[in-house]
Structure 1
Amino acid sequence: MEPRYISLTEFCTCHEIQHSFIHSLSEHGLVEITVIEENEFLEQEQIRELEKMMRLHYDLEINIQGIDAINHLLQRVSQLQDRVRLLENRLRRFEE
């Protein structure tokens, strides 16, 4: 399935934020900006994560480096939860 895009300008206008915030996130590898015919776009799939990062920054006043660290830790927790589920399933097979 082909990715769906949202204009960076439209996103920033709707959320009343600066382009520079999104660019800073992009520089740290937290979001990916796609350029099509000299216009910047965000993939629709990243919007939920981007909105979480916005809340961390604007509501909790966490800087970009802090957001990067939090994002890394949340990804690691998710990986560990997946691993625990896998191991629990294996254990159930042996118990039966």
Structure 2
Amino acid sequence: MDTQKYIPVRHLCDLYHTEVSFFRELDEKGLVEIISLENSLYVHKDKLYEVERIIRIHRELNVNIEGVDVVLNLLEKLDQLQNEVLRIQSRLRLYEDDR
């Protein structure tokens, strides 16, 4: 497997001043997928934004991992609802323009 698409968890631990166990817990809860290659743990580069978002929620809001999962689910639901509101507003404009 091509490791150029992955970031070593050890590097992320140094960068964010956290432990490997934190990333393992994220993997166990299904928040971030951890890949094991050649006796090392990696996170896909595309997931770096999610990792940073999780760490910010965890640290700045002092939320445990289970709470982070809830917050992320609520944010996803909020995005869906905002998109639905935009879609409905767009449809309403069609009817308003017909007047």
Scaled by the length of structure 2, the TM-score of the pair is 0.83
Unmatched tracts of structure 2, length 5 or more? none
1:89, distance to aligned residue in structure 2 (A):
1.3
* Alignment partner, residue 5 of structure 2: 4
* Alignment partner, residue 57 of structure 2: 56
* Alignment partner, residue 96 of structure 2: 95
* Alignment partner, residue 36 of structure 2: 35
CA deviation vs aligned residue, 1:16-75 (integer Å, no higher than 9, x gap): 110111111111111111223332211122211211211222233211111111111001
Q: For CA contacts below 8 A with separation 6 or more, give which structure has more relative contact order.
A: 1
Separation of aligned partners in 2, 1:84 and 1:26 = 33
The secondary structure found in structure 2 opposite 1:30 is: coil
Rg larger for? 2
Of all paired residues, the percent bearing the same amino acid is 34
Count of residues paired in the alignment = 95
Unmatched tracts of structure 1, length 5 or more? none
Scaled by the length of structure 1, the TM-score of the pair is 0.85
Q: Bigger shift: 26-35 or 51-60?
A: 51-60
* Alignment partner, residue 18 of structure 1: 19
